[in-house]
Chains A and B, each alone.
Chain A
Amino acid sequence: MKGFILSLRSEFYKSRKTMGFWCAVILPLIIVGLIFIGFLTHPGNLSKYPGMALWMFYVAPISVIMGNLLLPMYIIFASYSVNAMEHKADTWKTLFTLPISKWSVYTAKYVFAMFLLFLCLLLFYLFLLGSGNLLGVLKPELKFYDYHVESYLAQVYTKLFLVSLGILSLQFLMSLLWSDFIKPMGIGFVCTIAGLIAVGVGWQYAYFIPYAAPALANSPLKSNNNTAHNSGVPHLTVDMFTKEVWVSLVVAAVVFILGFFIVQKKSVK
Chain B
Amino acid sequence: MVIRTDRLSFHFGDQQVVKSVSLEVPQGSIYGFLGPNGAGKTTTIKLLLNLLHAENGTIQIFDKDLQTNRIEILSQIGSLIEQPAIYGHLTGKENLCNRALLLQVPAERVDEMLELVRLKSAANKKAKQYSLGMKQRLGIALALLSDPKLIILDEPTNGLDPNGIIEIRQLLIRLVKEHGKTVFISSHLLAEIERMATHVGIINHGDLVFQGTIDELAGLSKPLVQIEVDNGVDAANLLTRNGYTINGIEENTLLLPYTSKEDTGKMNALLNQNSYMVYSIGKVQKDLENLFLDITQNT
Contact = CB atoms under 8 A, between A and B. Distances in A.
Interface of A: 6-7, 9-10, 13-14, 17-18, 85, 88-91, 93-94, 96-101, 267-269
Contacts of B142: 94
B247 interface: no
Contacts of B98: 10, 13-14
Nearest to A264: B53
Majority DSSP secondary structure for residues of A touching B = loop
B101 interface: yes
Interface of B: 12, 46, 49-53, 71-72, 74-75, 77, 79, 81-83, 85-90, 94, 97-99, 101-104, 142
A90 B42 CA distance: 15
Given A13-B98, A14-B90, 19 more contacts: A6-B104, A10-B101, A14-B87, A17-B89, A18-B89, A85-B87, A85-B89, A89-B88, A98-B74, A99-B71, A99-B72, A99-B74, A100-B71, A100-B102, A267-B51, A267-B52, A267-B53, A268-B46, A269-B52
A7 B103 CA distance: 10
Contacts of A100: 71, 102
Contacts of A99: 71-72, 74-75, 103
Most buried by A among B81, B87, B104: B87
A9 B100 CA distance: 12
Contact of B86 (A17, A89, A267, A268): A89
A263 to B, nearest CB: 12
Nearest to B87: A89
Contacts of A10: 98, 101-102
Contacts of B77: 97
A97 B50 contact: yes
Nearest to A6: B102
Nearest to A15: B89
Contacts of B89: 17-18, 85
Contacts of A13: 94, 97-98, 101
A17 B75 CA distance: 28
Nearest to B10: A267
Contacts of A6: 101-102, 104
A94 B52 CA distance: 13
A22 to B, nearest CB: 12
28 contacts: A7-B102, A9-B101, A10-B102, A13-B98, A13-B101, A14-B87, A14-B90, A89-B85, A89-B86, A89-B87, A89-B88, A91-B85, A93-B46, A93-B51, A94-B99, A96-B50, A97-B49, A97-B50, A97-B51, A97-B74, A97-B79, A98-B74, A98-B102, A99-B72, A99-B103, A268-B51, A268-B52, A269-B12
